Chain A
Amino acid sequence: MSTTADLERLAEDLAAEARPDRAGTGVSPHRTALRRLRSDPVAVVSGAVVLVLVLLGLLAPLVTSLWGIHATVGHPDAPRPSEVLLFDGYPAVGPPYEPFTWQHPLGLAPRTGVDNLATLLYGLRTSLGVAVVATVLTTLVGVGVGLVAGFVGGRTDRVVSFVIDLFLSFPFLLGALALAPIVVSRFSTDPDGLALAQVVALVAVLVTFGWMGLARLIRGQVLSLREREFVQAAVVMGLSTRHILLKELLPNLVAPIVVAVSLSVPAFVAAEAGLSYLGIGLTGVPSLGQTINQAVDSFERYPLYLWAPVLTVMVLVLALNLLGDAVRDAFDPRTRR
C-alpha cells in the first residue's frame, strides 16, 4: 500500500519539478493550480460574477419576498393584471411608458403583469439548476465510461468507442425536437407533472448528448496512464480493478475533469436557454430562454423586457466560460504566463 502512495508522490513531485513554477515545489499540483487561479484577475472577476449570480439564483425566494415581487400571477399577493396593466397589456407602472420605479426595477411582463426581476431570478435558478445537474450527471457518466473503456481495453474498449461515436453522430437538436412534443402530449393533462417532466426530459436530453466528449478525453488519459509504473505496480500487486480505477487513476484525472466541468456548465446554460427559446425546453417553470421568446413580440415598444434576460444569459455564460478558461490554464502545466 505504502509503495503505491510513495510512487504516487514521486510522480507528483516529478511533475511539479517539470514545471517552470519553481515556487510550487513540494506543493500538490491542485494547490498550485488554485494559487495560479487566485492570482489571475480574469478568474477572480469572473468567479465573483458567477458567485453573485449563483447566490441570486439560490436566494431567489428570499430576494423576491423581501422585495415584495412575485414570479407567478397566481400568487395571492401578486398584483392582478388589470391593476398594473394598460388596456393593451403593457404595464401601467415602470417601463416602457412610465418612469423607473424601485418597486419593479426591471418592469412588469406584458399581458400577465408578473414582475420581470422575479422571473429573472427564478429563471436564473432554473438555468443554473439544470446546468449543474446536467453537468454532474454527464461527468459521472463520462468519467465512468472513459475509465472503464480505457483501463479494460480490448473488445470492451472497441464497443464503448463505437457507442460513443454512435451518440456523437446523432443530431442533438433533432433528439430534443422529437422528445418535446412526446413529453407534452404524455403529460398534457397534468400541468404540475408536465413542469417536472419537462425539467427531467431537458436534463435527460442534455446528458444523453453531452457525456461523449468527456468519456473520450478520460479514455485517452487512462490509456496513457495505464502504462505508467505506479499503475503497473498496482496491477502486479493484485489490487482490485475498482481500487486501481478509483484510487490510482481517478486522482490523476482531476485536472481534465475540472476543466471539462467548468466549460460544460456555461454550455448547458446556453443550451437550456436556447431550447426553451425554441419552445422545446421548459414552459411550466420560469426560464430565461422562455422569457426571451415571449419578449420578442414586444421588443419594439418594450426593449428592456428582452434585454434583461438576454444580457443575463450573456453575462452568465461569458463569466462561466472565462472562469472555465482560467481553470484550464491553471491546471495545465504547459501554459506559461
Chain B
Amino acid sequence: MTGARRGRGLLAASMVAALVLSACGGGGDGDRRDAAPDGIDRSGLGAAGSAKDPDREGPVEIDGAREGGTVRVLSADGLNSMDPSEAYFLNTLSILGGLVTRSLTQYTYDEETGDMVLVPDLATDLGTSNADYTEWTFTIRGGVKWENGREVTAEDVRYGILRSFDRSTFPGGAAYSNDYFLDGDKYKGPYRSGTGYAGVVVDGNRLTLKMERPFPDLPYWAAFPAMGPVPAGEDAPETYLRHPWATGPYMFDDYVPEKSLTLVRNPHWDPATDPARTQYPDRYEFAFQVPATQVDQVLLNDQGDGERTLTYDDVLAENFRTFQDEHPDRLELGPQPCTTYWAPDYRKVTDKRVRQALAYAYPYRDAALAAGQIENVTRVWGENLMPPGIPGRTEYSLLDTAPGETDPAAARRLLEEVDAVGYEIRWLFRGDDPLDVATKDVVVRALRDVGFTPRPVATTVADYSTERRDPDSEVNLRAAGWCSDWPSGGSWIPPVLESSDLDEEGLGSNYAAFSEPDVDRRIREVVMLPTEQQPAAWNDLGRHVAETYFPLFVIGYGGVAHAHGSKVMGHRVDGTLGMPTYKTIWLDD
C-alpha cells in the first residue's frame, strides 16, 4: 500500500478506453483544444480489476497467435531488485509476475472488459478463509516444475513466503506479511529467525496462512512475486536477485543489472498448469536506461527490430499526437491505479474552508501541462480519492466546479469569508527537477492570484520523500501520490486516512496527518464486513470523510500511454500496474 515505494518515476495514471481514444485521433482543423482525448466511458470502470475467477484453468490459447521471434522492450528507467521477495516496482513486478515467477494467485487480462481478473496460479483456487479472514488455506497444484525440472512443492512456496518477512535483507519489498501475518512484527525471515515459523503451515499440498488480524484482501497480496516459491538452499540474497529460479514460461538468460535482461523459454513450464500465462515469443530482450527520446524514435520509425519492440514508458507528450494521428493502432492507453492529491496538514490548516479554497484555486490544467501530463490520458480528472477501477467506486462531486476546473473567484470568496486572505501555504518542490520547478511556478501564481501567500520550499529529488515524511517539518501542505497495490478500497482509505502514531511511526502514508477518531472507528468496522459488502462501504466512507472533513483534494488520476511496434500483438495495459500484459503478447512475424 505504498505509493512512493512503487517507483513513482514509472508512473502517471488514468482509465481510458483505447478505442475511444483512437477514434478521437486527428482532431480536425477546428479548435485543437477540443482534440484532447475525451469522452471516456467511466460507467464500466467501477468493476475493473474487481473480477475474480477462482475456477480458471490452463492452458491459455490465443486465437491466431504465432510462436517465435524476439520481443524487445525499451525503457528509460533502470531496473531495481529482481529478487521476488523484494520486487516492488511496477516494472519488476510486471516482468517477474508476467513472465518468470509464479505466485499463489495471478491476474489475467479480460479482452472483453479490458479489466484484470484475479485467477489462480500455483494454488488451485483463490484460497478459502475462515469467517473473520484470519486463516487462509490454499492447495498447491501438482505438475509445476522449476526451470531445472525439479517439482515445485508446498514447502518451496512456504519458504518463499517466509522470505517475504525479512525487512532488513529486502528493505525495498512490500511489508504486508509483516503487517497482517501472525507475529509478523516479530518473525524476521529464514535468515535471521530460522524456518520454524508457525504462521505458515504445510500439510501435504495444503498451505495454511495464519493472520494476526483480519486480512480479507489476502488473495490479492498472494499475487505478488513475494508470495511464490523460492528454492531453499539456492537463494543466497546477494546472488538470487541476479537469477531468480523460473517457474513461469521464461527464465533468465543474460542479466546486466540496471542495463539489460534477456529471457528465454523455460522448457519445464507446462501450459496446462497455468491459467493465464502464454509462451509465444522465443525470447524477450529488455534494454533499460535508454533515453526517452530514443525510445520514442525507435517506435515511431517502426523499422527492423523496431517492429518487434514495445515500451512500458509513456510516450513523450511531444510525440503523443504523432502516435495518436498516424499510428493509433500502436498506441496503448490504459489505466494506472494512482491518485495525485494535495494534502494540507490537518493539524495546521485547520479550517475546512481554507482547504476548499485551495481546491478551487489549484491550477489543474496549467500544472498538468507544465508537468508534461496529457489531459485525459496520463492525467484524468476526478474528485474521489479512489481512482477508477477500484470496486465500489462512484463518481461524486465535492466542489461547485467540474473536476479539473479552477475557480479563482470561489477560492477568493472562501478566503475572505474566513478572513484568511494572505494565508501562507508552504510545500516542498524538487529544485533539481525541471518539470517540478515549472509546476511550482504555475501553482505559485495561481495561489497568489486568489489571495494565498505561496511559499514553496525547495528540496532535491534525493531528499524529497524523506523530507515529506517528516511530520514536524515547516510545510503545512504536502503534494502526494498514492497507487493501490490491488483493486480494493482497503488499499486506499486506511493507508491514506487512518490516524497514524506521529511520534512512533511518523506520517506513514497519511500525508495530511488526518486524524478523526470517528473515521478510525468506521475503518475498523468496514474491515470486519463480509467481502462482498466492503467495496461499497469503502466508497461510502471515503465520501463521508471528504464531505465532512475535506482533508485533501484530488488533482487527478494516472494513466499510461505505451507504444509498440507493428508486429507486436496482444500488448494491452494491465490496469493493476499500468504495465504491459506480458501474458498475452505474441509476434505477428
Within B391-440, which residues are at the interface with A (CB < 8 Å)?
431-432, 434, 437-438
Which residues of the partner chain A approach B320 to less than 8 Å between Cβ atoms? Answer: 88
- A189–B375 Cα distance when bound, in Å, is 31
- A184–B438 Cα distance when bound, in Å, is 17
Min Cβ gap A64→B in Å is 17
Q: Is A39 an interface residue (CB 8 A)?
A: no
Min Cβ gap A299→B in Å is 9
Q: Is A81 an interface residue (CB 8 A)?
A: yes
Which residues of the partner chain B approach A283 to less than 8 Å between Cβ atoms? Answer: 434
Within A67-114, which residues are at the interface with B (CB < 8 Å)?
72-74, 76, 80-82, 85-90, 92, 97, 110-113
Q: Is B37 an interface residue (CB 8 A)?
A: yes
Q: Is B195 an interface residue (CB 8 A)?
A: no
Contact flags (1/0) for A28-51 with B, using CB distance below 8 Å?
000000000000000000000000
For this complex, into which size category does the number of interface residues on chain B fall? 35 or more
Q: Is B441 an interface residue (CB 8 A)?
A: yes
Within B344-384, which residues are at the interface with A (CB < 8 Å)?
363, 365-366, 369-370, 372, 374-376
Dominant secondary structure of chain A at its interface with chain B: loop
Nearest B residue to A305, CB-CB? B318
How many interface residues does A have (CB within 8 Å)?
33
- The answer to whether B442 and A111 touch across the interface, beta carbons within 8 angstroms, is no
Q: Is B529 an interface residue (CB 8 A)?
A: no
Dominant secondary structure of chain B at its interface with chain A: helix
Q: Is B316 an interface residue (CB 8 A)?
A: yes
- A128–B17 Cα distance when bound, in Å, is 51
Nearest B residue to A113, CB-CB? B369
Nearest B residue to A85, CB-CB? B369
Which residues of the partner chain A approach B293 to less than 8 Å between Cβ atoms? Answer: 296-297
- A112–B32 Cα distance when bound, in Å, is 17
Nearest A residue to B373, CB-CB? A89
> Interface-forming stretch among B118-126, B232-240, B454-462, B539-547?
B454-462
- The answer to whether B322 and A82 touch across the interface, beta carbons within 8 angstroms, is no
- A190–B458 Cα distance when bound, in Å, is 6
Beyond A80-B366, A188-B460, A301-B318, is A86–B35 a contact (Cβ under 8 Å)?
yes
- The answer to whether B431 and A81 touch across the interface, beta carbons within 8 angstroms, is no
Which residues of the partner chain A approach B242 to less than 8 Å between Cβ atoms? Answer: none
Beyond A87-B374, A297-B318, A301-B318, is A74–B366 a contact (Cβ under 8 Å)?
no
Which residues of the partner chain B approach A86 to less than 8 Å between Cβ atoms? Answer: 32-33, 35-36
- The answer to whether A74 and B445 touch across the interface, beta carbons within 8 angstroms, is yes
- The answer to whether B321 and A301 touch across the interface, beta carbons within 8 angstroms, is yes
Which residues of the partner chain A approach B321 to less than 8 Å between Cβ atoms? Answer: 88, 90, 301
* Choice from B322, B369, B444 contacting A301 with Cβ under 8 Å: B322
Beyond A86-B32, A88-B318, A89-B369, is A74–B459 a contact (Cβ under 8 Å)?
no
Nearest A residue to B460, CB-CB? A188
Nearest B residue to A89, CB-CB? B317
Min Cβ gap B283→A in Å is 31
Contact flags (1/0) for B23-38 with A, using CB distance below 8 Å?
0000000001101110
Q: Is A298 an interface residue (CB 8 A)?
A: yes
* Choice from A76, A82, A110, A301 contacting B366 with Cβ under 8 Å: A82
- The answer to whether A87 and B33 touch across the interface, beta carbons within 8 angstroms, is yes
- A297–B376 Cα distance when bound, in Å, is 22
Q: Is A185 an interface residue (CB 8 A)?
A: yes
* Choice from B318, B319, B376, B457 contacting A189 with Cβ under 8 Å: B457
Which residues of the partner chain B approach A72 to less than 8 Å between Cβ atoms? Answer: 441
- A324–B316 Cα distance when bound, in Å, is 43
* Choice from B35, B363, B375, B431 contacting A194 with Cβ under 8 Å: B431
- The answer to whether A110 and B318 touch across the interface, beta carbons within 8 angstroms, is yes
Residues of B within 8 A of A (CB): 32-33, 35-37, 292-293, 316-322, 363, 365-366, 369-370, 372, 374-376, 431-432, 434, 437-438, 441-442, 444-445, 449, 457-460
Q: Known pairs A110-B317, A188-B431; list 6 more (Cβ under 8 Å).
A: A73-B441, A74-B445, A82-B363, A82-B366, A87-B374, A297-B318
9 A-B interface contacts by CB (under 8 A) = A80-B366, A81-B370, A82-B366, A82-B369, A89-B318, A92-B32, A111-B372, A112-B441, A189-B457
